Amino acid sequence: NIMRATNKVAMRAVLSPSLDSSLNALISVQVSVIDPQEGNTTSNKFRSKFSRVVEKLLKKAIKDRIDSSPSNPFGELEELGSLLASIDWMIETIEDVARIGCGPEELLTPSTSMTRHLLLELVRCNHREVRETVEDLGNDVKFIEPLLRGCEQELGLQPPPPVVVPSSSGDSSFRQRLEALKRQRESNVN
């Protein structure tokens, strides 16, 4: 019953600050649990269990948001770019830990599930905004694209075609290329 009380207190803490802070905090905690460079000296069994708790907290927070505002559960989200960068950071950490073999699969599975669940719900609610923000972030987010495409495919959404930039040969100026990109983006929106 102490665990139930702890979970209730944790949920209140997760839901009380801004949505941005809550989601970024959960991602940060999850990264610190799985990342061996964070000085994790606790057992893998404990870290795996804690990782599952963080995953459940995130899923509960998202479910509560959907229940309280079904039409726009992420309407209070102020910094989508920051959240997507945090998701990208977690994907990078998961891939690094898996690559160097620093953690058992039981440790990484909740993190992978949590990341996928969060991005899937973001795409379900704000597909175009998520896609545009990832494109705007460019090279600042390098690991999120495969998961984003998977979420789009799972939801039956079509990712936009790659933007074709006119070549800079001849007398094409930067402004002409920029205008062509703007026209292409506007045609994709319509």
Does residue 133 register a pLDDT over 70? yes
pLDDT top residue among 129 and 159? 129
Mean pLDDT of 118-142: 93
User: What is the structure's pLDDT at 171?
Assistant: 44
pTM (two decimals): 0.75
Q: How confident is the model at residue 40 (pLDDT cuts 50, 70, 90)?
A: low
Distance, in Å, from the CA atom of 37 to the CA atom of 188, rounded to the nearest integer, reads 42
Does residue 189 register a pLDDT over 60? no
Distance, in Å, from the CA atom of 133 to the CA atom of 127, rounded to the nearest integer, reads 10
Read off φ and ψ for residue 116, nearest 5 degrees. Answer: -65, -45
Distance, in Å, from the CA atom of 16 to the CA atom of 10, rounded to the nearest integer, reads 10
Per DSSP, the residues of 119-156 read HHHHHHHHHHHHHHHHHHHGGG--SSHHHHHHHHHHTT
Mean pLDDT of 20-46: 81
Contact 157, 127 (CB under 8 A): yes
The residues, any chain, with a CB within 8 Å of residue 98's CB and separated by 6 or more, are 108
- In the chain, the amino acid numbered 94 is I
Q: How confident is the model at residue 101 (pLDDT cuts 50, 70, 90)?
A: confident
Lowest-confidence segment of 9-23, 43-57, 144-158 by average pLDDT? 9-23
CA atoms within 13 A on the CB side of 13: 11
State pLDDT tens for residues 113-124: 999 999 999 999
C-alpha pair distances (Å), 177 with each of 52, 133, 161, 169, 187: 48, 21, 17, 11, 15
Does residue 157 register a pLDDT over 60? yes
